[in-house]
Structure 1
Amino acid sequence: MNPAGRGHLPRHSVSVAGVVIRQDGRVLAIRRADNGTWEPPGGVLELDETPEGGVRREVYEETGITVGVDRLTGVYKNMACGVVALVFRCRPESGCERLSDESTAIEWLTSDEVSDRMGDMYAVRVLDALREDGPQVRSHDGRKLIA
């Protein structure tokens, strides 16, 4: 039995995302096929992979871009869903942008375009990755940050 007195351990899902930044400061973003939202590429971390390996896999699968992972820039927990997202600053190394089953558009956005196109919960992850004082640790309810 766990310390909270329940007969089972709490379950969390872990996701990873890559904020891929070109030398000109533009950030790689995808428009998701399932809901039409703009987000940094990413997805669920597999049980048998490291966070860095997972972010490299997800970015490549969704965009065709191979990346180097520089550093963790933020940890974000969706309190409503129990999803913990690890966000990494990445740099493009090779490849060419291509759509996938998960993306209907791929663009390199400025920070202003990120703020305009992405919902708050994704824009903050990208903007945090552009900062030098991370990693940031934030919680949200799926729509808004929780203080």
Structure 2
Amino acid sequence: MPPLHSVSVAGAVVREDGRILAIRRADNGHWEPPGGVLEPSEDIEAGVRREIREETGLHVRVGPLTGVYKNMKAHVVALVFRCAPASGAPHLTDETTGIDWLTPDEIEARMAPAYACRLLDALTPGTPPAIRVHDGRDLL
């Protein structure tokens, strides 16, 4: 039987000043875009909104797809969308131990390349979605 794949969704939430929302996950301590596993019966954009709200308390407007990323070791395909804040203020939840609005340089300093690129790829509106593979940390 071929390996099964999990589908994850994440949001590159960009403020008007260009800073991008990032979370420090409670389960592994890593800085990443807010997101998670898409529920089997869930619409993709609804999943993006739910995951961001669950992890940060923030409500967002989901925009265009900015990248497709496959973790070759874990068999996870992640879809990342550029989002804009709609309402609420980010705050810590059971799933986060840190939330911050980062600059591109701060993203590169805090995140593994496999996760930093998900936010950085979303910074240029109007470009085709990036398609990348990684091993859970580094791009391949």
TM-score (norm 2): 0.95
Partners of 1:79 and 1:111 in 2: CA distance: 25
Which residue is 2:134 aligned to?
140
Identify unmatched segments of 5+ residues in structure 1: 1-7
Contact 2:57 2:89 in 1 (8 A): yes
Aligned-residue offset at 1:9: 5.0
Q: CA deviation at 1:98?
A: 1.4
The residue type equivalent to 2:39 in the other structure is E
Shift, 1:43, TM fit: 0.4
Residue 23, structure 1, aligned to residue 22, structure 2: no
Q: How far, CA to CA, are the matches of 1:56 and 1:143 in structure 2?
A: 25
Q: Which runs of 4+ in 1 moved over 3 A?
A: none
Q: Percent identity?
A: 64
TM-score by length of 1: 0.91
Question: What residue identity is the alignment partner of 1:131?
Answer: T
Give the number of the structure whose alpha-carbon radius of gyration is greater.
1
What amino acid is aligned across from residue 138 of structure 1 in structure 2? R
Match for residue 93 of structure 1?
86
Write the distance in 2 (CA, Å) between the matches of 1:55 and 1:91.
12
Deviation at 1:131? Answer: 2.1
Equivalenced residue count is 139
Structure 2 residues without counterparts, runs of 5 or longer: none
How many Å separate the matches in 2 of 1:9 and 1:48?
A: 22
CA contact (8 A) 2:3 2:75 kept: no
Equivalent in the alignment of 1:74: 67
* CA RMSD across the alignment: 1.0
1:125 corresponding residue in structure 2: 118
**Is 1:61–2:54 an aligned residue pair?**
yes
